[in-house]
């Protein structure tokens, strides 16, 4: 408090005086408190203490800061920035805070045309950040559809180009695009029934085969089966092991479709 003494308080030239006192309260320290919140391109600042101050920071990579609002833009993913806020009062105070821009997300994936029997489809494999979303962009007009989770495209048309887009699901999503031209499905022409797990059978699964007939080079039928899938292992209907050579087949599939072609059985080691 302050005490004031007024000698000659009554104004008569005497030595009489009066005394009074009062309190003075002064807060000489400014409050520079503020917080930073990371964004995909930098950060935003919220002043908690005294407003009207100035923001500065230490960027050397092209990032910029608004000295009034403290907003950082053009920040580099994965980079940490130190921001200072200085108040504008008669006794300015400065506080420093750090913020890190989130890492850039990775939308890398591949898309490949493949066959499930006679059915063409496109399969996708994510190499970047998982749990994103797939889409066809633009949407095809031939009825092709995509599974948004797996990226598998079905009901495609042979020889048609599709554009697949994958978008990550993180706080700073990014997208990438792959284009795929579908290839026609080709029926295998060689089987090697040596039980090594590779081309041991004549695989027609996916073709919805109603019936299959196989003939030797002399035109003699050696194998037949209704509702065929992939059962033929080079064994005739009589249970005989068919020798290495060229055979011919006729298959009826997908309703009324008929296909005839050759099949080579290779038993050589």
The CATH number of residue 55's host domain is 2.60.40
Q: Please indicate, yes or no, whether residues 251 and 194 belong to a single structural domain of this protein.
A: yes
- pLDDT of 17 reads 54
Which among 156, 181, 206 is the end of a domain?
181
Digit-coded pLDDT (tens) for 69-95: 999 999 999 999 999 999 998 889 999
Q: Please indicate, yes or no, whether residues 71 and 149 belong to a single structural domain of this protein.
A: no
- pLDDT of 126 reads 98
Q: Please indicate, yes or no, whether residues 43 and 7 belong to a single structural domain of this protein.
A: yes
Contact 54, 88 (CB under 8 A): yes
Largest CA distance in the chain: 150
Q: Please indicate, yes or no, whether residues 254 and 202 belong to a single structural domain of this protein.
A: yes
Contact 162, 94 (CB under 8 A): no
Q: What is the mean pLDDT of the chain?
A: 90
Mean pLDDT of 175-184: 94
Digit-coded pLDDT (tens) for 210-229: 999 999 999 999 999 999 99
With cut-offs at 50, 70 and 90, classify the pLDDT of residue 45. very high
Q: Please indicate, yes or no, whether residues 169 and 247 belong to a single structural domain of this protein.
A: no
The pTM of the full predicted model, rounded to 2 decimals, is: 0.65
- State how far the Cα of 260 lies from the Cα of 116, in Å rounded to an integer: 20
Q: Is the pLDDT of residue 9 over 70?
A: no
The label of the residue with tokens 């026609």 reads 184
Q: Please indicate, yes or no, whether residues 165 and 216 belong to a single structural domain of this protein.
A: no
Q: Please indicate, yes or no, whether residues 143 and 157 belong to a single structural domain of this protein.
A: yes
Distances (CA, A) of 10 to 2, 16, 22, 193, 246: 21, 7, 21, 129, 137
- State how far the Cα of 248 lies from the Cα of 91, in Å rounded to an integer: 98
Q: Please indicate, yes or no, whether residues 4 and 93 belong to a single structural domain of this protein.
A: yes
Contact 254, 208 (CB under 8 A): yes
Which among 103, 125, 159 is the end of a domain?
103
Contact 109, 151 (CB under 8 A): yes
Q: Please indicate, yes or no, whether residues 55 and 140 belong to a single structural domain of this protein.
A: no
229-266: burial string, b at 16+ Cβ within 10 Å, e else: beebebebeeeeebeeeebebebbbbeeeeeeeebebe
Q: How many domains does the chain have?
A: 3
Q: Is the pLDDT of residue 11 over 70?
A: no
Q: Please indicate, yes or no, whether residues 154 and 229 belong to a single structural domain of this protein.
A: no
- State how far the Cα of 104 lies from the Cα of 173, in Å rounded to an integer: 8
- State how far the Cα of 249 lies from the Cα of 143, in Å rounded to an integer: 33
Distances (CA, A) of 133 to 29, 128, 150, 153: 52, 12, 8, 13
- pLDDT of 97 reads 97
Which among 181, 210, 241 is the end of a domain?
181
Q: Is the pLDDT of residue 61 over 90?
A: yes
Q: Please indicate, yes or no, whether residues 99 and 11 belong to a single structural domain of this protein.
A: yes
Q: Is the pLDDT of residue 209 over 70?
A: yes
- pLDDT of 95 reads 97
Q: Is the pLDDT of residue 256 over 90?
A: no
- State how far the Cα of 150 lies from the Cα of 131, in Å rounded to an integer: 9
Read off the tokens for 180.
Answer: 């795929």
Q: Please indicate, yes or no, whether residues 173 and 200 belong to a single structural domain of this protein.
A: no
Digit-coded pLDDT (tens) for 15-29: 555 555 666 666 668
Q: Is the pLDDT of residue 208 over 90?
A: no
Digit-coded pLDDT (tens) for 121-173: 999 999 999 999 999 999 999 999 999 999 999 999 988 999 999 999 999 99
- Residue 96's domain comprises 1-103
């Amino acid at each position: 408090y302050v005490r004031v003494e007024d000698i000659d308080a009554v104004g008569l030239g005497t030595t009489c005086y009066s005394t009074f006192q009062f309190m003075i309260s002064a807060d000489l320290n400014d409050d520079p408190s503020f917080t930073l919140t990371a964004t995909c391109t930098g950060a935003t600042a919220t002043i908690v203490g005294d407003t009207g101050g100035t923001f500065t920071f230490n960027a050397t990579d092209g990032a910029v800061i608004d000295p009034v609002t403290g907003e950082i833009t053009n920040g580099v993913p994965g980079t940490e920035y130190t921001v200072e806020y200085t108040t504008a009062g008669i006794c300015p105070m400065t506080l420093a805070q750090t913020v890190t821009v989130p890492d850039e997300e990775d939308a890398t994936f591949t898309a490949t045309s493949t066959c499930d029997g006679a059915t063409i489809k496109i399969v996708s494999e994510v190499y970047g950040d998982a749990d994103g979303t797939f889409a066809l962009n633009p949407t095809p007009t031939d009825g092709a559809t995509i599974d948004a989770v797996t990226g598998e495209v079905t009901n495609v048309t042979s020889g048609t180009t599709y554009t697949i887009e994958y978008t990550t699901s993180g706080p700073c999503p990014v997208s990438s695009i792959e284009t795929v031209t579908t290839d026609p499905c080709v029926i295998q022409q060689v089987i090697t029934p040596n039980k090594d797990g590779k081309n041991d059978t004549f695989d027609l699964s996916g073709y919805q085969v109603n019936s299959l007939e196989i003939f030797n080079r002399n035109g003699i039928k050696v194998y037949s089966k209704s509702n065929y899938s992939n059962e033929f292992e080079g064994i005739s209907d009589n249970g005989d092991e068919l020798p290495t050579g060229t055979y011919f087949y006729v298959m009826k599939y997908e309703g009324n479709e008929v296909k005839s072609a050759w099949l080579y059985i290779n038993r050589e080691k």
